[in-house]
């Protein structure tokens, strides 16, 4: 699992909050996480790293419905199709 995915998981982005209705606590976590993700990428973290199971940080954000994180990862160069492409290549 990539550092970005571990970070997202550690900050509680598995609580099932999806779509436009988010609690203030989730919005606050997203804001804090954005700062950390930007620092990680600036320090060399790879936004397009593919785990052995084909998961990517973008794919995890998509699965969890984290629109804000998906937008951030795209801004930082993440390929939204990478996880699906990897999985399609394994069929």
The confidence score (pLDDT) of residue 25 equals: 77
Q: Residue 67, exposed/middle/buried by CB under 10 A (0-12, 13-18, 19+)?
A: middle
Per-residue pLDDT tens over the stretch 8-66: 666 655 444 444 456 777 778 878 888 899 999 999 999 999 999 999 999 998 988 88
Q: How far apart are CA 64 and CA 46, in angstroms?
A: 20
């Amino acid at each position: 699992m990539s550092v970005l995915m571990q970070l997202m998981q550690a900050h509680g982005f598995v609580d099932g909050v999806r779509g436009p209705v988010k609690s203030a606590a989730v919005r606050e976590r997203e804001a804090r996480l954005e700062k950390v993700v930007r620092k990680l990428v600036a320090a060399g973290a790879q936004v397009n790293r593919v785990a052995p199971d084909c998961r990517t940080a973008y794919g995890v954000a998509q699965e969890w419905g984290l629109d804000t994180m998906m937008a951030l990862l795209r801004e930082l160069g993440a390929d939204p199709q990478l996880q699906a492409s990897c999985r399609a290549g394994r069929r």
